[in-house]
Structure 1
Amino acid sequence: MRNLKITIRALSILLPVLLFQCNTTNKEASINKEEIGSVEGKTVMAIFAHPDDEMTVAPILSKYAREGAKVYLVICTDGRYGTNDFSGIEAGEGLVAIRKEEMKCAANTLGVELIHLNYHDQLKSGEGYDGHVPHAQALITELYEIVTDKKPDALITWGPDGGTTHMDHRLVGASVTQVFVSKLWEKPTELFYVGTPSKLIDSLGDKILRGVDDKYLNTRIKYTKEDSEKALASLKCHKSQMSPQGLIWITEYQKKFGMEMYLRQFIAPKNIKNSIFN
């Protein structure tokens, strides 16, 4: 987030994802809902790009940790380019150190175990092919090793839109997807993408860039006021990124919405086809 304007824009994008609640018709009610049951012994892994990206799913991370699941939060980049007008902190190693501490604070608040990797923001895209591609390939390999080691029951990451079309978001989402499809995992693992309902986006251009039709948002998860409050508390840890005005705005905005989150599950094919039609 480079300035206050971008911070507010990012909040306006993530809030519908965090707080979306709609009046369902009977047809909409047929969307698969999360089965109610014990999550003890289950492992959830959320994988995102930057320190503070986790706020997109913070309420359900709190929910599953509270209900007894083991929750890992993997943050891939160091946040070195997360400058803005209100903090006055320059890009670089000093900001990296600050954001690592902020990320620890947020993870502790949510009750999740943090795995913070050390990849550069933008995955060294400014260094051209020879800088970026090895860096991006190393990320995929390390994520594969983490998933192999931790054996999550569910993975959560960015979809192809990346929430804001941010290149790091999209690359991380694509990297997690590649890890997921690279083999049939011994432990059944499900992959879920964060999505913003198209119906909550006014601009046609933004609908195209980052909207997801309700039909595809096939997983609906309710969370509690306690989870919502923990999410807001964790957001306050990111002092270098979240202005006081932004915190006030998100707190007031949250009061207008119910506590339900929509995700899009990656659905693997069940049959072999011999045509691209039907």
Structure 2
Amino acid sequence: MRAPNLIAHAAAATLLAPVALAQPAAPRTLVAVFAHADDEGIVGPVLARYAREGAHVYVVVATDGAQGGAHTDIPRGPELARVRADELRCASQALGIREPVTLDFPDAKLGDYAADPSLLYRLTQRIADELQRLRPDAIVTFGPDGATGHPDHRLVGDVVTQLVRAGAPGVPERLFYAWIPVEGMQAMNPRGAPPMLVPQAKYLSMRVSVAPADLDAARRAMACHHTQYSAEVVARIVPLQERTWNGAVSLARAFSTAPGTDLFR
């Protein structure tokens, strides 16, 4: 009787054994937290790029937008808030990102919250709850300058920064600040930027490359905000943005966690 070919049997068993297939990596999640509908435009190409690459991208807007409308005859109040919410949905679709999240705090009033701890805590908790639900891998918001100096911008950025530094549930360490160059503010407002708002170039160390398709998406998204930008303003700002970005959008890192023992070293 011939001895069984153990090597052959082992090879066959190996071939027939179930193969563990590598599981695809879960999509990353990027959340941009801003004060108003249309604020997302300062990083529009970045949002479009990551959405195009398959990330889950969300915009969270803190206010209802009821007080802002530089290019509309709609009276300030609930009707303007409804229109601006529609504009934000239009912009989100143009960017290819998820349905926007609006928290509906009163527009142009967040700066007042600093004087009322109960209101400030409510805003903080609401933003914290949303970030815990979305569980982002990275966040973009305003730096301490608020990009334009707007009190609503400043407070939203401060709250998000507080939550990252405190290690709030579901909140990542990767936090980046958006900004607007002086030329951009001059295009929107001939008076230009108030002093000391624009970060020094050395702090804009994160450069996110974007494609022509991302720039086009950002252009279409900006045009959605009819109450904020006239066609003439869009035509003036968009080419300036594209020249400034020059293929990559710069952001500032919020934190460095490098250890140290001496404040002067």
- 2:3 maps to none
CA-CA distance at 1:110 after TM superposition: 1.0
CA distance in 1 between partners of 2:143 and 2:137 (Å): 18
CA distance in 1 between partners of 2:233 and 2:69 (Å): 15
Partner amino acid, structure 2, of 1:137:
Y
Cα–Cα, structure 1 residues 61 and 277, in superposed 2: closer, same or farther, change >3 Å? same
- 2:95 maps to 110
- Aligned counterpart for 2:138 among listed residues 154, 174, 187: 154
Q: Is the 8 A contact 1:39 1:69 kept in 2?
A: no
- For the pair shown, the structure with the greater C-alpha radius of gyration is 2
CA distance in 2 between partners of 1:193 and 1:127 (Å): 22
CA-CA distance at 1:89 after TM superposition: 1.8
Unaligned runs of 5+ in 1: 1-37
CA distance in 2 between partners of 1:120 and 1:277 (Å): 43
Q: Is the 8 A contact 1:39 1:68 kept in 2?
A: no
CA distance in 2 between partners of 1:266 and 1:82 (Å): 28
> How do 1:110-129 and structure 2 match up within 5 A?
110-113=95-98, 114-123=100-109, 129=115
CA-CA distance at 1:260 after TM superposition: 1.3
> How do 1:22-33 and structure 2 match up within 5 A?
none
> How do 1:232-243 and structure 2 match up within 5 A?
232-243=219-230
CA distance in 2 between partners of 1:39 and 1:58 (Å): 25
CA-CA distance at 1:251 after TM superposition: 3.6
- 1:169 maps to 153
- 2:234 maps to 247
Root-mean-square deviation (CA, aligned residues, Å) is 2.9
Number of residue-to-residue matches in the alignment: 236
SS for the counterpart of 2:224 is: coil
TM-score, structure 1 length as denominator? 0.76
Q: Is the 8 A contact 1:102 1:237 kept in 2?
A: yes
SS for the counterpart of 2:33 is: strand
Q: Give deviations 1:28-53, integer Å, cap 9, x for gaps.
A: xxxxxxxxxx9962110100000000
Q: Provide the identity percentage.
A: 32
Unaligned runs of 5+ in 2: 1-23, 187-191
- Aligned counterpart for 2:72 among listed residues 79, 84, 87: 87
Partner amino acid, structure 1, of 2:85:
K
Decide which moves more: 258-267 or 227-236: 258-267
CA distance in 2 between partners of 1:248 and 1:199 (Å): 15
TM-score, structure 2 length as denominator? 0.79
CA distance in 2 between partners of 1:265 and 1:212 (Å): 11
Q: Is the 8 A contact 1:198 1:213 kept in 2?
A: no
- Aligned counterpart for 1:99 among listed residues 84, 93, 112: 84
User: Do structure 1's residue 53 and structure 2's residue 39 form an aligned pair?
Assistant: yes
Cα–Cα, structure 1 residues 240 and 129, in superposed 2: closer, same or farther, change >3 Å? same
Q: Is the 8 A contact 1:198 1:214 kept in 2?
A: no
Cα–Cα, structure 1 residues 271 and 251, in superposed 2: closer, same or farther, change >3 Å? closer
Decide which moves more: 207-216 or 89-98: 207-216
